[in-house]
Chains A and B, each alone.
Chain A
Amino acid sequence: MTDDDRAVRILRTMPDDPPLPSTVDVERTMAEGRRRRRVRRWSGGVALVAVTAVAAGGGTVAASALRDTPAAPVKPVTVPSKKAPAKVAPVVPKDCKVTLLPSGEVKKALVTAGDPTGRYHAGRVYPRPGGVHTVVWKDGELLPVPNMPGSDAGFRDINSSGIAVGYSYVGDEERAYALAGGTVRRLAGGRAVAGAINDRGVIAGTLGGAFDGGTPVIWKSYRAEPTRLALPSGITRGSAAAIGEDGTVIGAIYRNTRDEGIPYLWRPDGIGRKLAVPKGATGFWVSSISNGWLYGSAVHDAPDGSMRSFTSYRYSIAANRYEKLAVQLSNDALGAENGWVLSTIADPVILAGKRIVKLPRYNKMKEYQVTAFSADGKTAAGYTTDSTDNEVVANRPLKWTCR
């Protein structure tokens, strides 16, 4: 194939200007960029403080700024330490420490998932530009496990037995894999993505494409054939992305290809329902499930679609009730069984009731993604996304442990 290829020549004739006039607002990029800088500065300096939460309300952001949506700065106030009664979990996580997970000779690496015990973490390392190698850590040490085949491979979840699930690509087709017993094996069902696994070994995922929905399924084990999850009448596409320990599956259904998706819940008995929406919101983005609660962000769209804002909520599945969280978190909130929430407000934080505990930075780096939170809320994991002079995205795999 050469640049003289006819297909390439035709491609290059493509009228490439968007047909509608630009709505890019350069002033707003500066205002929003300044706000992100301010939030980072607020979070600088102290290694770890407990802060009194100030209800931040919905941080309004541009519709485009769907990531990195930290709350308005809150004033850090040191909370006097209280001796926790014996046998009662501390009110807030304490003595949190950050450690860099080992990644051999390779610096660029990230954590993509963790198990409920906090002992297992899954991730990937980038041994050379463009190359990716999937890895698993146990108690902070790299395990000698085989690489997931395919390109752009990544684990999406790992359970307390160390079984990890995820997917990679062959060409542009996704293939779902499980790592179990030291072997990486492909899940049955053809083109598929695996999104989550619980401690019973039940895997939730989607047959077909990852991006626009396909057939939501569960695999009752990594050896099982997929079982389809029922879709409501008239709906042909959906996805399954998360699974609770009781077998509740969270995903979405799609009415058409341009649909953002309607969040959907399948009970352990397979019966499905649409999720309710927080009062006054136009939607709800689920980011995790833990102990019968969903954690995520209510979406508020301006009537003309020009602005989109978010408010952090959790949702009780049994009570069908939303509770607003004390502060605005990013759209990556992960819940623990005791109700603590791991997220980022520029820095990684744990929200314990109304208190924010900031997790320590690694090596003065400033930008973080969190990807794993143990069931007891004492182990968190994630990675940095700083830009440095040498790297566009300097990923470092991190684990935080607290008492």
Chain B
Amino acid sequence: MPRRTDGEYLAFVRGRVTALRRAAYLLCGDSHGADDIVQETLTKLYSRWSRVSHVENLDAYVNTMLVRVFLDERRRGWWKVALLDWLPERATTPPPVEERSVVHTALMGLPPRQRAVVVLRYLCDQPVKEVAHILGCSEGTVKSQASNALDRLRLVFDELPDAVTVQDRR
């Protein structure tokens, strides 16, 4: 008998899909991509559900899985190739670039690993030690990546009047 039930899974997931989509969207910058990452993370979680009862901090566990899915997909993406010159369109197209915020665009301008550091450290409020664990690098690397990322973001943000910050808040 599973030590965690389907009912507990549903209760856990339904309360967190929004936050997981948010984190995935910050990482990959694309609604559909974010949903794919969350879908795969939750599928993995469910397939292990009966075995995770000893995990004390389930949220941290799931966040780690989510970031690993994102980075694995990016890494594997190098191998993943489609033949056609087009990609299937989804039912709804994303908003045009100009409707996206300056902050969003700046974040997406960071390379994937730097972006993961920024998202985990500043937007998911994970401590440096935890970020290092999730990303498989040293705490020093996390600090230097965060510092480099913020330097790059400052180049963009320093051009912004403070008012833009407010406009970005939708």
Contacts and interface: CB of A to CB of B under 8 A. Distances in A.
A66 B80 CA distance: 10
A269 interface: no
A304 B91 contact: yes
Interface string B66-110: 001000111111111111110111111011000101011001001
A365 interface: no
Contact of B169 (A15, A30, A172, A283): A15
B64 A6 contact: no
Contacts of B55: 389
Contacts of B110: 172
Nearest to B9: A30
B42 A24 contact: yes
A388 to B, nearest CB: 8
Dominant SS among interface residues on chain B: helix
A13 B103 contact: yes
Tell which of A130, A131, A172 has the most Cβ of chain B within 10 Å.
Answer: A130
B interface residue count range (under 10 / 10 to 19 / 20 to 34 / 35 or more) = 35 or more
A193 to B, nearest CB: 8
Interface stretch (A97-105, A139-147, A259-267, A354-362): A259-267
B34 to A, nearest CB: 5
A24 B26 contact: no
A391 to B, nearest CB: 11
A66 B73 contact: yes
A209 B85 CA distance: 22
Interface residues of A, number: 83
A184 interface: no
Contact of B83 (A10, A34, A274): A274
Main secondary structure of the interface of A (DSSP, over half): loop
A16 B123 contact: yes
A10 B43 contact: no
B114 A19 contact: no
A89 to B, nearest CB: 29
B14 A26 contact: yes
Nearest to A35: B47
Interface in A50-103: 62-68
B6 A30 contact: yes
A16 B25 contact: yes
Given A62-B39, A130-B137, A285-B79, A387 B165 contact: no
A67 B113 contact: no
A5 B154 CA distance: 10
Given A29-B43, A171-B148, A172-B148, A66 B25 contact: no
Contacts of A258: 87
Nearest to A38: B47
A18 interface: yes
Interface stretch (A217-225, A295-303, A371-379): A295-303
Interface of B: 6, 9-10, 13-14, 17-18, 21-22, 25-26, 31-32, 34-40, 42-49, 51-52, 54-55, 61, 64-65, 68, 72-85, 87-92, 94-95, 99, 101, 103-104, 107, 110-114, 118, 122-123, 129, 132-133, 135-139, 141-142, 144-148, 150, 153-154, 157, 160, 165-166, 168-170
9 contacts: A29-B13, A29-B42, A33-B47, A130-B132, A261-B80, A262-B84, A274-B83, A282-B83, A287-B79
Given A151-B138, A258-B87, 8 more contacts: A15-B168, A26-B42, A28-B43, A29-B13, A33-B46, A66-B76, A211-B78, A304-B89
